[in-house]
Structure 1
């Protein structure tokens, strides 16, 4: 199956966004994909903010994007857009870093007022970076994500079903892309 980079753009160490991504990572891994998590918050701030393209952590993150066939991008919504932390990483990547990639955009937020952040803020930047196929994303309300004392994430039934569907669509798109490349390669 495919190699998937799962990118969390949340600045929080206890982020529901990152936990949601790891939840979906498990589903993708169960479908046979190799999933590599990347929490942008673990990259050195001085490298991100100073646009240090030669910093080893930035070089490694860029290489992970290059090697991945599929990318899941998750972000909390701030001010009706994706996080500044995610933006700082995207700004350091080459202009067409997502060329040939299948991308699944995800967002979390506290209000349905931000449900369009994926389509009006995140999708355009992913497209401008050359993403070959951006599958329909999903916005999940914070209230639909519960974290237990042991750190386990529970997703409310309706959103859980919708997330499973978009994750499976992403997985199928990756598999279809691989089959197409094998047939034409």
Structure 2
């Protein structure tokens, strides 16, 4: 199956955005895909903000991007845009780092007033990075994401159904390993 890089651009350790991304990662993993989670907040701040392209953590993140068949980009919405932390990472990736990849943009926020951040803020950047196919993505309201004390995530029924549809669309665009290659 395919390799998916799942990027969370949230600066918060208790982020609903990251929890939602990891929830979807588990679904892709259960479907046989290899998912590589990348929480941007775990990268060292100095090389991230100082544009140190040679720092080992940045080199590794760039290699993970290069190896991925598909990329999930999840972000909280702040002031009608994706997170600055995500922007810092995207700025360090190669100009055409998304060439040959399918991208699923996801956003979370407190109000439906932020829905257009996906199309008017994030999509143009992903497109400029050469993504072959950017799915419509999905915006999930914070109140539709419940995190249990054990860290498990429950998504409100309407949002869960919509997320399921966009995740199925994303998975359908990923390359599949031919049966003969898997058997050899």
Q: Same fold (TM over 0.5)?
A: yes
The worse-fitting range, judged by mean Cα deviation, of 58-67 and 26-35 is 26-35
What SS does the aligned partner of 1:77 have? strand
What is the alpha-carbon distance in structure 1 between the residues aligned to residue 131 and residue 70 of structure 2? Answer: 10
Equivalent residue number for residue 149 of structure 2: 149
Equivalent residue number for residue 183 of structure 1: none
What is the alpha-carbon distance in structure 2 between the residues aligned to residue 102 and residue 93 of structure 1? Answer: 16
What is the alpha-carbon distance in structure 2 between the residues aligned to residue 175 and residue 30 of structure 1? Answer: 16
What is the alpha-carbon distance in structure 2 between the residues aligned to residue 99 and residue 91 of structure 1? Answer: 15
Are 1:53 and 2:46 counterparts? no
Shift, 1:92, TM fit: 0.5
Equivalent residue number for residue 66 of structure 1: 66
Shift, 1:175, TM fit: 3.5
Q: How does 1:8-157 map to 2 (within 5 A)?
A: 8-157=8-157
What is the alpha-carbon distance in structure 2 between the residues aligned to residue 83 and residue 58 of structure 1? Answer: 18
What TM-score, normalized by structure 2, do the two folds share?
0.95
- Count residues with an aligned counterpart: 179
Shift, 1:31, TM fit: 1.3
List alignment gaps of at least 5 residues for structure 1.
180-185
What is the alpha-carbon distance in structure 1 between the residues aligned to residue 14 and residue 116 of structure 2? Answer: 24
Shift, 1:30, TM fit: 1.3
What SS does the aligned partner of 2:52 have? coil
What TM-score, normalized by structure 1, do the two folds share?
0.94
Equivalent residue number for residue 182 of structure 2: none
Deviation track 1:58-109 (CA, whole Å, cap 9, x = no partner) reads 0000000000010000000001000000000000111000011100000000
What is the alpha-carbon distance in structure 2 between the residues aligned to residue 54 and residue 96 of structure 1? Answer: 18
Deviation track 1:96-141 (CA, whole Å, cap 9, x = no partner) reads 0001110000000000000111000001100000000001100000
Shift, 1:23, TM fit: 0.5
